[in-house]
Structure 1
Amino acid sequence: MEQTHTTLNPARWRDARPATAARRHSESRTTDRVLHILLRGDLSRLRVDTVAAELGMSATTLRRRLRSDHTHYQFLLDRARQYRCEQALRSNWRPGKCLAHELGYLEVNSFYRAFRRWTGIGFSTWKLRHY
């Protein structure tokens, strides 16, 4: 079954987490700050320890706060990569190798697998449909 591609709004990513009755405002603030850093930063250089340092905390504390937010760094990084990929392809066509590099993937095949996960179709199939 083929999935349809939908554009995600960064403000809605937090809503994809499991709902809890006692979610505090301060908890989601950490997630929002991490997303802000990821969306404006160089994804090839941003690692959990550099994001934590920018927020003035240790990587362990950042992971704990994100866990209390019912999310984790890799999930937020994946959403930021997806959003940036959508924005890049909306403006003009780029080869997968270039996009993989821009989004911080070390291997092009890792980007292709992520793209298929995001859209439900392969990158070359998407290209044929849209360009």
Structure 2
Amino acid sequence: MRFMRYLPGRNIPHLLTAPFIFSVLLPLVLLDIFLEVYHRICFPVYGIAYVKRREFIRVDRHRLRYIPWYAKINCAYCGYANGLIEYARTIAGETEKYWCSIKHKNDPGAIFFPPEYHRDFLAYGDEKAYRNFIKK
């Protein structure tokens, strides 16, 4: 809540940027709906265990009595938005593990932060390992 330290004299900029921040809420809710439909329909078909939503999305800081009402709104938004994105990332990762399991090409000059589960993937360009993998 660093913004609270700088709030005096900055009310106008915060108010002017609030619509941009909260305009993302509708796409997030739509992502949430489509993601959950995909998750509930496809994961059982693929034999992938459900990802537990409650382990990612937590909206609870608004219950703290010492936080002003406008900060509670922000806290609820961030708990939902960040939790949803992490939940979506996990569902996408489980999907990637099922469908692909091949690492991305290692470009020495490029910065890329692969997810931790990529360490178990097959090396990019290793056709022999791929052929052996699909025979199992």
- Normalising by the residue count of structure 2, what TM-score does the alignment of the two structures yield? 0.30
**Structure with larger RCO (C-alpha < 8 A, sep 6+):** 1
TM-score by structure 1 length?
A: 0.31
| Greater Rg over alpha carbons, structure | 2
